[in-house]
Amino acid sequence: MTMRKGSGPRNGGPEPGLDGGSDIPVSVLDVSHSYPSRGALAFALSRISLDIAPGQFVSLVGPSGCGKSTLLMIVAGLRRPTSGHVEIDSVPVTEPYSSLGVMFQTDQLLEWLTVTDNILLQARIRRLPEGQARARAEVLLEEAGLSSFRQFFPRQLSGGMRQRVAICRTLLHDPRLLLMDEPFGALDALTRDRMLRFLQRTWLRRRATVLFVTHSVDEAVFLSDRVIVMSSEAGAIVDDVPVVLPRPRATLTRSQPAFGTAVARIMSYFENDDD
Amino acid sequence: MTEGSRRYGIASRKEGAARATVLGRWALPWLVILVVLVVWQAVVAIGHVPDFVLPSPTAVLHSIWYNQSELWSDTLTTGGETLAGLAISVAIAVPIAVGFSYSRLLETAVYPLVVASQAVPKLAIAPLFILWFGVGFQSKLLIAMLIAFFPTLVNTVAGLATVPPESVYLVRSMGASEWQIFVHVRMPYALPSFFAGVKVASTLAVIGALIGEFVGATSGLGYTLLEANANLQLDLVFACIVLLSVLGIALFYAIVLLERLVVPWASQRAEASR
């Protein structure tokens, strides 16, 4: 298995690990998820369908408890839907997709591993060649501005640095599908803004298909090609907002009319929540 | 005085305080022990307390020196019983704890029984064990094992329960097998708690071996202690107590040392929060 950079032609089907290859479509087909609650069935998701084009950056926004994290877990193959299914690259999901990168709100760095070893965990679990993985980790650390911290332990780093290490770990095997569950939710506003630009920069280099869950409308519009709005009551999609803004986006992008229009359209769905 | 030098002044005072703390942490306990021993010696000497009531520290030291070969072999016996009992208790407790963490059914079925079994006083079963397994090594090992088993089990179960589900999800998303999840995530998360349990278990194992020797034995520190007590050789009784304490402390710190080697991140965290 060799590490290929960029998006070359894919041959011989999906292979696990450090793969390049073309990006992949994701289809959520009529997915429902319910759980028993006080004797009745509560629906976290009801009959959700969603198509994500290859290389598209799609955000899911909605109030807490709208089922957006559940949907992400189902796409990740970490939770089974009650009905319906998900197809990644036209293959139904039964287990985590082979070229998948997942990020959670908390960085989940292992305290007993150095920064480098935390990033290499991705390669060790996937049994990828050590030398190539190390070289790739070096490149990512450089991009993240963490080269001089490679031998540090997580507890010696700030929250923003820890989350950057988590991003490096997520990207180590150059995954074709990225699933992120509020990865910057625990960071302060300024750090979060830096992380948004860092994520955009690394994503633009090789566009993976991304499903990004957030409760920040600003974050969703800044990063996405499309923002899916979910409602809290039914666990259903209420709108699908395209964001047509040139990339790379920067802080000034927020002052463009299209940005404001998209934010306002999304926010309008949550207006009635507080009365 | 300039702003800079004043700041330096504060810095060096802080350094001094740190040095004093390190010195204090190691030297102060020894100083206290020394004071107690001196007072003890003085009380015995000035009050003309007879040896069969309270032997002086020097008399105890003399007794250790005088009986060194017998006491050494007793220490080896008791130490062997303790160590073997502890080792076997760990070897049994850990797989059970791991089994509990994977099977809710197993935990609900067995854990209450294990907890209930702790209500049975070990001292009450000791005579039975002597009857069943004889006055030799086996019965002591089993009593030590029985006493040491529980803290290791409870702490390992608690440690395995602290594993964040998201960490498991994370490695599972990497396609990890159950074994990889255990080795890379579950076990390291549980280790600090496991060691906390073994530390408690180590002191209990000494007590277990001692109980066994009290009830029926032909050698060991507990046996010699009872013999000496019957003969009113209190210097030898104290000698046995000293050696038992040394045994317990040595075992405890051996485990602390092992813990520092195996889970350095846990002890560093404790150090930092001090």
Q: What is the pLDDT of residues A208-231, one digit of tens each?
A: 999 999 989 999 999 999 999 998
Determine the residue of chain A that is closest to B166 in CA distance.
Answer: A108
Domains held by chain B: number: 2
- Residues of chain A positioned with their CB less than 8 A from the CB of B172: 78, 96
Q: Which helix (H) or strand (E) holds A236?
A: strand A236-242
Q: How far is B173 from chain A (nearest CA, A)?
A: 5
Mean pLDDT of A248-265: 92
Query: Does A93 fall in a domain?
Result: yes
Determine the residue of chain B that is closest to A171 in CA distance.
Answer: B174
Give the Cα separation of A34 and A96 in Å (integer).
21
Query: Does A275 fall in a domain?
Result: no
Query: Does A5 fall in a domain?
Result: no
Residues B27 and B91 placed together within one structural domain of the fold? no
Residues B205 and B87 placed together within one structural domain of the fold? yes
Closest CA to A240 of A229, A248, A250, A249: A229
Average pLDDT over chain B reads: 88
pLDDT for A161 equals 92
Q: What is the pTM of this model?
A: 0.81
Query: Does A1 fall in a domain?
Result: no
Binding-site residues on chain A for chain B (CB distance < 8 A): 16, 73, 76-78, 95-96, 98, 100-102, 104, 106, 108, 110-112, 121-122, 124-126, 153, 155, 179
Determine the residue of chain A that is closest to B179 in CA distance.
Answer: A125
> Please, are residues B100 and B161 in contact by the beta-carbon 8 Å criterion?
no
Domains held by chain A: number: 2
Nearest CB partner across the interface for B265, out of A112, A124, A126:
A112
Residues B140 and B268 placed together within one structural domain of the fold? yes
Q: SS3 string of B178-229?
A: HHHHHHHHHHHHHHHHHHHHHHHHHHHHHHHHHHHHHHCCCCCHHHHHHHHH
pLDDT for B9 equals 45
Contact A96 B173 (CB under 8 A): yes
Mean pLDDT of B161-175: 94
Determine the residue of chain B that is closest to A128 in CA distance.
Answer: B174
- Residues of chain B positioned with their CB less than 8 A from the CB of A95: 175
Domain end (from A127, A142, A173):
A173
Query: Does A13 fall in a domain?
Result: no
- Residues of chain B positioned with their CB less than 8 A from the CB of A124: 184
Residues A187 and A261 placed together within one structural domain of the fold? yes
Residues B78 and B125 placed together within one structural domain of the fold? yes
Give residue B17's pLDDT band: very low, low, confident or very high (50, 70, 90): low
Cis omega (within 30 of 0) on the bond before A16?
no
Task: Give alpha helix (H) positions in A108-233.
Answer: 115-125, 130-143, 159-171, 189-205, 217-223
**pLDDT reading at B270 higher than 60:** no
Q: How far is B172 from chain A (nearest CA, A)?
A: 7
Q: How many CB atoms lie within 10 A of CB B30?
A: 9
Contact A108 B269 (CB under 8 A): no
For residue B77, the enclosing domain spans 57-272
Give the Cα separation of B56 and B30 in Å (integer).
18
Contact A111 B173 (CB under 8 A): no
Tens-place pLDDT, residues B30-87: 899 999 999 999 999 998 888 888 999 999 999 999 999 999 999 999 999 999 999 9
Residues A206 and A238 placed together within one structural domain of the fold? yes
Interface pTM (ipTM) of the complex? 0.85
Q: Which helix (H) or strand (E) holds A180?
A: strand A177-181
Residues A150 and A187 placed together within one structural domain of the fold? no
Contact B269 A77 (CB under 8 A): no
Residues A62 and A197 placed together within one structural domain of the fold? yes
Residues B223 and B241 placed together within one structural domain of the fold? yes
**pLDDT reading at A115 higher than 90:** yes
Map tokens 């699933």 to a residue: A179
Closest CA to A62 of A274, A197, A228: A228
Give the Cα separation of A189 and A116 in Å (integer).
27
pLDDT for B195 equals 96
The answer for residues whose C-beta is within 8 angstroms of residue A253's C-beta and 6 or more apart is A222, A245, A259
Residues B2 and B27 placed together within one structural domain of the fold? yes
Determine the residue of chain B that is closest to A74 in CA distance.
Answer: B173
Domain end (from A131, A150, A173):
A173
- Residues of chain B positioned with their CB less than 8 A from the CB of A114: none
Give residue A205's pLDDT band: very low, low, confident or very high (50, 70, 90): confident
**pLDDT reading at B181 higher than 90:** yes
> Please, are residues A50 and A27 in contact by the beta-carbon 8 Å criterion?
yes
- Residues of chain A positioned with their CB less than 8 A from the CB of B169: 73, 76, 78, 102, 104
Residues A112 and A233 placed together within one structural domain of the fold? no
> Please, are residues A103 and A181 in contact by the beta-carbon 8 Å criterion?
yes
> Please, are residues A73 and A99 in contact by the beta-carbon 8 Å criterion?
no
**pLDDT reading at B100 higher than 70:** yes
> Could you please report the per-residue DSSP string of A114-142?
-HHHHHHHHHHHTT--HHHHHHHHHHHHH
Closest CA to B206 of B77, B95, B61: B77
Residues A138 and A234 placed together within one structural domain of the fold? no
Contact B188 A108 (CB under 8 A): no
**pLDDT reading at B1 higher than 50:** no
Residues B37 and B18 placed together within one structural domain of the fold? yes
For residue A264, the enclosing domain spans 19-99+177-268
**Residue A149 structure tokens:** 């911290």
Residues A181 and A169 placed together within one structural domain of the fold? no
**pLDDT reading at A11 higher than 60:** no
Residues B215 and B233 placed together within one structural domain of the fold? yes
Query: Does A133 fall in a domain?
Result: yes
